[in-house]
Amino acid sequence: MTDTVPPGTDNVRERASAALDAVGATLPVGHGLTARTPITGEDLFELHATTEQETEDAIAAAEAAFRVWRTTPAPARGELVRRLGDLLRAHQGDLADLITIEAGKIRSEALGEVQEMIDICDFAVGLSRQLYGRSIASERPGHRLAETWHPLGVVGVISAFNFPAAVWSWNTAVALVCGDPVVWKPSEATPLISLACGHLVDRAVREVGAPPAVHQVLFGDRRVGEQLVDDSRVALVSATGSTRMGREVGPRVAARFGRCLLELGGNNASVVAPSADLDLALHGVVFAAAGTAGQRCTTLRRLIVHRSIADEFVDRLVAAYRKLPVGDPFAEGTLVGPLVSAAAAEGMRQALEKAVAEGGEVLVGGGARLVDEVPNASYVEPAVVRMPEQSAIVRQETFAPILYVLTYDDFDEAIALHNGVPQGLSSSVFTRDQQEAERFLAADGSDCGITNVNIGTSGAEIGGAFGGEKETGGGRESGSDAWRAYMRRATNTVNYSSELTLAQNVSFL
């Protein structure tokens, strides 16, 4: 591995300031929230944290904005999102800089995240003219049965650090064209990119004449999120984070009969069959497992390889891992940036210890890098661990670049191993056998919300609905018909006859 030494904190701070200036955003002066960078592990700025009263005011303003926004024609709402997409295009490099600075993503991944935001804006603009209902055959003569979709209300978005802007955009672009104001509580770890995105929405709002409170950003810790979760004026809470967080958020929103959209943990697996193109599989596995330093919800964490090819494939995998460049995410050629925090690195270390205690063998990686150069940061070597079985640690999600390797003898066993975890987000199979591919996609195949053939588990497109099953939460965001989560359905019966005919042949009076 060739390390690339990151720049100093002053350099990173200057780059962050330049990006914010280019976007036109101003740091909220105050205290209570610290912007830091995992590139050096040090603080950048002190920011004002949103108070309880400011959160209350924001929710009230969003509720008032809803009364105007819900009756604004949907194509006019789409014009706001169209303008936002234009601004994102104009500032793609600036926003990518902030994502790298706060989340540690390498340059291509940071630019890709902003492209994803642009893409969902394009999708949502088209959607603003396609919020279709249905005509339904009525059993009664002279009656018309139909369904219509109406704006739902204020949407509270709680996002995580690893996709600090894209997940927000999935929710916001769609919610806005559906007629819902958005109140966004970003991760405490990524206030700068959130500030920049919020400023661009504010600018688009002014330029198209939308209600000012149709989008607001709240900076703070979990107390701000709890206000959104518990406030009955917030019709939908879309929360991305750990399964533990979801166990708290879901019941609290349900207790007030609100709606939840949860995107929680993933413990994703790929099956590599004997017929697989091993070159293709190697590329797919390495990116899915080591990309974003293992900090995607769709990161590949379990590799299930047929016993007949396991030794050959694992040897090639280990060789590829030894060549992964670790270090400065801004540097050309770097493929693995830093973990977000020292706590993440400690979680990785503990997981590897447990894996060894449960019979595993660490084949490559697991060590710290650049300790002398940036002692406050957390750069690690992505690890491959051969496991004798799907033990307790394998069934847990560790948000770090650890890939557990398991073997199988027949395809039914592979599917059972694949499905034998509490999470159900993303999955894939590498095979040239059509029967195996179709079986993996079938009702008795993968139990995940995302199921792929001959690609890895990460890198979903915005055109499809994103989300998973089981402890992943069951929510769906982004494309397809995920827009329905942000609207309410009304079933309409219109009697255009002169007779009052009752359904089911009921006779009365």
Q: Which residues are catalytic?
A: 263
Instruction: Classify each residue of 256-287 as buried b or exposed e, where b means 16 or more C-beta atoms within 10 Å of its C-beta.
Output: eebbbbbbbbbbbbbbbbeebebeebbebbbb
**Using the 8-state DSSP alphabet, how is residue 336 labeled?**
B
Pairwise CA distance, residues 492 & 183, whole Å: 31
What's the CA gap between 432 and 239, in Å, rounded? 38
Asked if residues 325 and 1 have their Cβ atoms less than 8 Å apart, the reply is: yes
Strands (E), 191-349: 215-217, 234-240, 259-263, 268-272, 300-306
Type of residue numbered 372: D
Helix (H, G, I), strand (E, B) or coil at 498: coil
What secondary structure does DSSP assign to 140-191, as a single string? STTEEEEEEEEE--EEEEE--SSSTTHHHHHHHHHHHHTT--EEEE--TT-H
- Residue identified by tokens 């059993």 is 139
Residue 287: name the closest of 330, 328, 327, 336 by CA.
336
3-state secondary structure 448-462: CCEEEECCCCCCCCC
Helices and strands in the chain, H and E counts: 14, 23
Q: Which residues, listed in sequence order, are joined to residue 252 by a DSSP beta bridge?
A: none
Contact status, residue 180 vs residue 152, Cβ threshold 8 Å: yes
Q: Are 453 and 428 in contact (CB under 8 A)?
A: yes
Give the amino acid at 379: Y
Residues linked to residue 362 through DSSP beta bridges, in sequence order: 385
State the alpha helices, DSSP H only, in 52-165: 52-69, 74-90, 92-103, 107-127
Neighbours of 23 (CB within 10 A): 23
Q: Is 404 exposed, middle or buried (0-12, 13-18, 19+ CB in 10 A)?
A: buried
Decide: helix, strand or coil at residue 233: coil
Contact between 314 and 425 under an 8 Å Cβ cutoff? The reply is: no
Q: What are the C-alpha distances in Å from 259 to residues 36, 98, 132, 487, 488?
A: 33, 32, 21, 11, 11
